[in-house]
Amino acid sequence: MALLVSLGALLACLCAANAMTDPVIVTMPSEVVNNTETTVRLSCNLTNPTSPVAGSHWEKDGKKIENSADTKPNTVIQYTISKADLQSGGVYYCVFLTSPKVNSSIEVKVLPHVKAYKHSEQGNENDKGVLTCTCHSYPLPTDWQWFKVIGDKKTLITNGTERFEVRSTPDKSILSIGELDIEKDAGDYECLATNEVGSGSDKIQLRVRSRLAALWPFLGIVAEVIILVTVIFIYEKRRKPDEITDGTQYRKSNAATNHKDQNVRQRNCN
């Protein structure tokens, strides 16, 4: 009995000792929120490695960051995120090449960076209008909203009301407007995405062409044909009475002109 207790104590002690010597990575900073103004330096400090450190690198989006690999046995490593890379945010990993490998992550969170697929959209009257916005920054939006903008007044567009339909995934939102109306639907729209840091938006101008405008090229051709036909018709009408008078003169003509007539007939036979 006493032996079992002391064995248990020994095991507990070993486990505790083992827990104390587990590798630990301290990250600095622990996370980055809404800092898109300056560059940010990330650092990882590894203590109690399980084996000598054979090197290290940094990863983002499951990919090794170019030029971040190091073969030195450093236990403290750093990586500087450029201002450009800060715009999109992401999850950065520092990886130490011990056996087994160990890593830690630092989340870089930014406001949603929203981009309209096209800033100017065009639709035909009575057709369906489609406006699209995307966002690929980290963390992805948890909510999307659409507004109709008139001057400095914004009106929230509710999914399923009137002819509006909103379909959203975390990285994309699509506003569909059924049967476009020139008066009601042309104008400015705003898509707004929200994540835990805050909100970001973009604007789209929608232009609605009248059915008639879409038909203009066709109507132009029709008008041209009508004018042409009219001109030909008028010309023919004007010419005919002359021919008739010519004909009567012809029949009344004397032998001298009859000779000409024969010539004409002969030519006609040839």
Contact residues for ligand NAG (CB under 6 A)?
Answer: 26, 34, 36-37, 45, 47, 59, 76, 93, 95, 103, 111, 159-160, 165-168, 197-198
Report in angstroms how near the CB of residue 207 gets to ligand NAG at its nearest. Answer: 25
Q: What is the spatial distance between Cα 112 and Cα 90, in angstroms, rounded to a whole number? A: 12
**Minimum CB distance to ligand NAG smaller for 34 or for 258:** 34
Q: Looking at beta carbons only, is 55 or 124 nearer to ligand NAG?
A: 55
Taking the C-alpha atoms of residue 85 and residue 120, their distance in angstroms, rounded to an integer, is: 27
The 10 Å CB-count burial string (b at 16+, else e) for 97-109 is: bbeeebebebebb
d(CA 14, CA 74): 28
In the complex with ligand NAG, the residue whose CB is nearer, 93 or 138, is 93
Residue 36, C-beta contacts closer than 8 angstroms, at least 6 positions apart = 83, 86, 87, 110, 111
- Interatomic CA distance for residues 62 and 247, integer angstroms: 96
To 5 degrees, how large is the angle CA 250–CA 256–CA 258? 45
Cβ-contact 139, 182 below 8 angstroms: no
CA of 161: how far to CAs of 164, 165, 175, 179, in Å? Answer: 6, 8, 12, 13
Min dist. Cβ of residue 224 to ligand NAG (A): 47
Instruction: Rank residues 149 and 197 by Cβ distance to ligand NAG and give the closer one.
Output: 197
Beta carbon of residue 169, minimum distance to ligand NAG (angstroms, whole number): 9
Question: In angstroms, what is the minimal distance from the CB of 5 to ligand NAG?
Answer: 35
Which one, 45 or 88, has the nearer CB to ligand NAG?
Answer: 45
- We find the least distance from the C-beta atom of residue 63 to ligand NAG, in angstroms, to be 9
As measured in angstroms, the least distance from the Cβ of 17 to ligand NAG is: 18
Q: Which is nearer to ligand NAG, 49 or 123 (CB)?
A: 49
